[in-house]
Structure formats: C-alpha cells, structure tokens
Amino acid sequence: MAAKDSTNVHSGSGDPVRSLALLWRTQNRRPARNARHDLSVDKIVQAAVEVADAEGVGALSMRRVAETLGVGTMTLYTYVPGKAELIDLMLDSAYGEAARSTEGRGDWRARLELVARENRALFHRHPWMLQVGISRPPLGPNAIAKYEYELQAVDGIGLSEIEMDTVVNLVIGHADTTARRSVEAALAEKDSGMTDEQWWQAHAPLLTTLMDYSRYPLAASVGQAVGSAHGQAYDASHNFEFGLQRILDGIEVLVAAHREADDSAT
C-alpha cells in the first residue's frame, strides 16, 4: 500500500439515499442500453477494494477503478453515483468478511478476544480501512450483521446495552490502534528500505551519545529495555497481546461488579 494523502476520506459523506439503496440493493434502475453487461456493482466494488489494498485509499478514484476494469470512467456512474458512495460499499464489503458463527466460541472473554483478533486481521488484509473515518458508519447489511455478531460476544453477561456497545468498541478500538501502528511500520520499512530493528540499531548509538541520562532517567532505562527486548521502539504485536489481556481483565472486573450487585439485590 503506497503512502498517499487520505485527508477528509469519510464514510457516510455521499448521498445517504443512494448509498443505502446500493448497500441494501434496493435500487432497481436499469443500466443504459450501451452499458457493459459484464459489469455490476459487486464487480466495481471488488475492483475498488483491489486498488485500495494495493495503493491506499488516497489513490482511489472513479477513473482509477475504471482503468482497472478496462472501461470508461463515465461507465461506472451508471452503477455507482460517485467515490463517496463507493467508499461506503467497499467498507460494507470488507465487513462481510468477518466471522458470523456464534458456536464454539467459549465464554465471553474468549468471544471478545476473537472479536479483537478478527478485526485486527481484517485491518491487516485491508489497511486502507484505517484511512477512512467511520464516525458515520455505512449502515449496510454486512456492517449490521458484523455489529450483531460482535454484540453477541457480551450478550447475557449482565452488562447494560450502553456498556455492551462500549465494550465492543473498546476492544475493536484496541485492534484498530495496534493494527495502525503495524501498518505504519510496514510502510516505513517499504519507503526507507530498513526494518524497525535496523533503524533502531542505526540510531540507538547516536542517541546514546546525545542523551542526558541524568535528566531523563526513566526514558533512558525503559527505552533501552524496550529496544533490547523488541529490537525496536514499539512492537505492535506485543502491545496488541498485552493490551488486549488488560482490557479483558478490566471488563472482567465490571462483569463481576454487576454480578455482586445482582446477588445483593436478591
């Protein structure tokens, strides 16, 4: 994925009526007579995802997708109104890759851990998703199904509806943050030709000569320990694993508090 400018790329920024009609496939408009019969909304979305996977969402345009499909740009507008609606379709398509089975997932802690790992894997498969603001999420069928599935991880364990939503968002947010750092590291390695470990080895000796250890004793000792342990300043995998367990520990305290309150009430 090339490092491109992704400023102001947000879901839900297109025509909501058109986006929802496309997301739920309620749009029955017939293609023009000269439209390509081998084209469809699904094929256009697939091509757009392939472009974004390879080049980043900043490289995405209706023209770029049209080139990938070997058609004129105006042909795409027969099926999709514009890039904003296409982004919504791409996100919902990616959300469709998430697991749906609720069987054999263990207790709530194991289920939430699986949610975190599934989202982290999804972000790594489609790093461009991390470049799209989703404060206004595309309310397509796959997005709704994914949300339903993730809420089932904490259903029936004593949390309020607000707490259920917040817990799921907390876990997914952690997966988002660590995946983002991992993707950034991969981009930095690609652009510089150096791994994080190689960069650390090259710069650590210079930093040692410049840094006043007496002024920053904690930064010096902890930074050296981290660099020695991970070979880099930040290990995304370690932080994901450590942070996930601490988040689950905290949720476990919340669940236990609800149970104690229920026991006291009875």
Q: What is the largest CA-CA distance in the chain?
A: 77
* Domain count within the chain: 2
Rg of the chain over all Cα atoms, to the nearest angstrom: 23
Residue 1 in this model has a pLDDT that exceeds 70: no
pTM over 0.85: yes
| 67 within a domain of the structure (yes/no) | yes
Task: Please check whether residues 123 and 228 belong to one and the same domain.
Answer: yes
The CATH number of residue 22's host domain is 1.10.10.60
**How many alpha carbons lie under 13 Å from residue 116 in its C-beta half-sphere?**
26
Residues with Cβ within 8 Å of 39's Cβ and at least 6 positions away in sequence, in order, are 31, 69, 71, 75, 79
The CATH number of residue 163's host domain is 1.10.357.10
| 6 within a domain of the structure (yes/no) | no
Residue 15 in this model has a pLDDT that exceeds 80: yes
Q: What gap in Å lies between CA 61 and CA 43, rounded to an integer? A: 15
Give the DSSP letter of residue 71: S
pLDDT reported for residue 8: 65
Task: Please check whether residues 35 and 83 belong to one and the same domain.
Answer: yes
- Among residues 72, 95, 118, which one ends one of the domains? 95
Task: Please check whether residues 130 and 86 belong to one and the same domain.
Answer: no
pLDDT reported for residue 178: 98
Going 55 to 9 to 195 to 117, the CA torsion angle's sign is negative
| 3 within a domain of the structure (yes/no) | no
Task: Please check whether residues 114 and 149 belong to one and the same domain.
Answer: yes
Q: Which domain holds residue 222?
A: 108-265
pLDDT reported for residue 3: 42
In this structure, which amino acid lies at residue 149?
A: Y
| 102 within a domain of the structure (yes/no) | no
